[in-house]
Amino acid sequence: MTTSRSTLSGIVLSVLLSSGAAAQMMAIQPAPAAAGAAKPAATPTPAGTPAVNPAAALIGTVPPPIKVAKWVKGRELTGFEKGKVYVVDFWATWCGPCKAAIPHLTKLQADHAGKVEVIGISISERQKDASDTSYIEAVEKFIAKMDDKMNYRVAVDTPDKQMHTTWFKPSGTGGIPTAWIIDQQGKVAWIGIGSPNDVERIVNEVLAGTFDYSKEAERERQKEEEAKKRSEADIAKAKASGRNEKTDAQFPGYREAMARGDQAAALASLNAAFKADPSLETGAAYQWKFMILLQRNKTEEVNAYSRELLDKYPKNDDIIGFVSACIVATGEDAKFDKQIALEAATKADAMSKPDSRWGQFTKWRLGWANYHAGNKDKAIEAMTAALEGVKRLKDKFDFGDLASECESALKDFRKPAK
């Protein structure tokens, strides 16, 4: 790799934030700050198994109860009224795309007064710890400033993140704004991250009684097929242009797709290049694909590609280290497959040199991976080793605030299970 692996997490974040296409996407959810007990390890998905959309299993079910810390605007919602359609929007004050959607949601409710209600639920606001409730006041100030631009009921999640746990996380979207659309029978009609236009279209179809979730899923599939066709056109155009630059020659169509922010077509172009010459994937291009998948924010796609990379390149320390840096949650909430993350962290740690700078970061990440997989003793062991390594090598390397990160993690790991 051309970049120090200890900075990979920062690279992932900076790429996401600096990408022009990313500005049109959702905000990647940060790990909630409130501590919680480690949960049992998730069952790993066998290689080759089709990815499953977690939201699909919730369609047609009765949504969980709404349990919030405070209703900041409007009266408390005690239940979903039959005959009315609800849009439950999960957002945060720090989320750019969330804020951009607010005026559209206000208009959506106004356009369907008495028939559609929007409920804004603020989640994952920044907290120092599980007892910190200052975020509630921050949300109140934000809403007061928005005034009539945010003219619908708004609530804020509890300090222990009950709405995040019971609503947001099971949806599997991993990003905000995430919307749940509840139909006239009080059942889930749709869950996802859509543009305001998509949400409005789906609400109108639910109101008319014409919405069909299976057709919406087919619509998404067709969009992917159309992206492949755009990619094929990009590839043909790139080849016809006669450009001799390395990127254009090896990845025809990729430049054109990225220039217009067409992630789906760019992804298709990379896949076509990898198929034509598998060796291209082991350069920087696998990172390009991973970044696109992270920006698309489809958890199942990231899990599947992580699994694929681990299986195809088990001895490539650059690739294993990159996957580990991208999918191991170093906070209280694990977004990606816990077993895949643990495997990546374990392999990355085994490949690193014990007294290297990178080696202490791999141990730190291994501690978190074990914690999320439910291996509390191993988590403490790895995190302790990381802390000892940082202290031993502090005069040789700059570890930033890794020592305090290790100490904070150990406090969480040692807390008794609730």
Q: Are 355 and 389 in contact (CB under 8 A)?
A: yes
5-29+219-413 and 54-208 in the same fold: no
> What local confidence, expressed as pLDDT, does residue 392 receive?
94
Strands (E), 50-170: 70-73, 85-91, 116-122, 153-156
Residue type, 331: G
Strand-strand pairing, 178-182 and 116-122: unpaired
Q: SS3 for 307-344, per residue?
A: HHHHHHCCCCHHHHHHHHHHHCCCCCCCCCCHHHHHHH
Closest CA to 43 of 32, 52, 34: 52
Task: Round to whole Å and give the CA distance between 208 and 261.
Answer: 33
Q: Report the pLDDT value the prediction gives residue 379, as an integer from 0 to 100.
A: 96
Query: Residue 242 — pLDDT band, cuts 50, 70, 90?
Result: low
- Of 250-254, 276-280, 352-356, the range with the lowest mean pLDDT is 250-254
154 has pLDDT over 90: yes
Cis bond leading into 63, ω under 30°? no
List the Cα angle 300/302/306 in 5-degree steps.
115
CATH code for the domain defined by 5-29+219-413: 1.25.40
- pLDDT score for 71: 97
Tens of pLDDT, residues 204-226 = 999 999 998 888 778 777 777 77
Among the listed residues 301, 216, 221, 224, the one whose alpha carbon sits nearest the alpha carbon of residue 262:
224
CB atoms within 10 A of CB 89: 24
The torsion region of residue 140 among left (phi > 0), alpha (psi -120 to 50) and beta comes to alpha
**CATH fold of the domain at 54-208:** Glutaredoxin (3.40.30)
Distance in angstroms (rounded) separating the CA atoms of residues 159 and 163: 10
Domain positions in the chain: 5-29+219-413, 54-208
Count the alpha carbons within 13 Å of 64 in the hemisphere toward its beta carbon.
Answer: 14
Q: What is the per-residue pLDDT for 47? A: 36
> What is the structure's pLDDT at 228?
72
Instruction: Kindly report the pTM of this predicted structure.
Output: 0.54
**DSSP string of 16-53?**
HHH-TGGGGSPEEPPPPSS--PPPPPPPPPPTTPPP--
Q: pLDDT for 36-92, tens place per residue?
A: 333 333 333 333 333 457 778 899 999 999 999 999 999 999 999 999 999 999 999
What is d(CA 295, CA 203) in angstroms, rounded to the nearest whole number? 25
340 Cβ neighbours under 8 A, 6+ residues apart? 44, 303, 306, 307, 310, 327
Overall average pLDDT of the 293-314 stretch: 90
Burial of 157 (C-beta count, 10 Å sphere; 0-12/13-18/19+):
buried
Per-residue DSSP letters for 110-123? Answer: HHTTTTEEEEEEE-
Q: Is the pLDDT of residue 317 over 70?
A: yes
Residue 15 burial (C-beta neighbours within 10 Å; 0-12, 13-18, 19+) = middle
- What pLDDT band is residue 3 in, cutting at 50, 70 and 90? very low
- Higher-confidence position of 123 and 55: 123
Residue 245 pLDDT: 55
Over residues 148-154, the mean pLDDT reads 95
Question: How many of the other CB atoms lie within 10 Å of CB of 176?
Answer: 26
Instruction: Please state, in angstroms and as integers, the Cα–Cα distance from residue 184 to each residue in 88, 175, 188, 203, 397, following that order.
Output: 14, 26, 10, 11, 60
6 C-beta neighbours (distance < 10 Å), count: 21
Q: How confident is the model at residue 20 (pLDDT cuts 50, 70, 90)?
A: very low
- Distance of alpha carbon 363 from alpha carbon 340, whole angstroms: 16
Alpha-carbon distance 176 to 158, whole Å? 17
Burial class (CB in 10 A: 0-12, 13-18, 19+), 363: buried
- Per DSSP, the residues of 235-273 read HHHHHHHT---HHHHHSTTHHHHHHTT-HHHHHHHHHHH
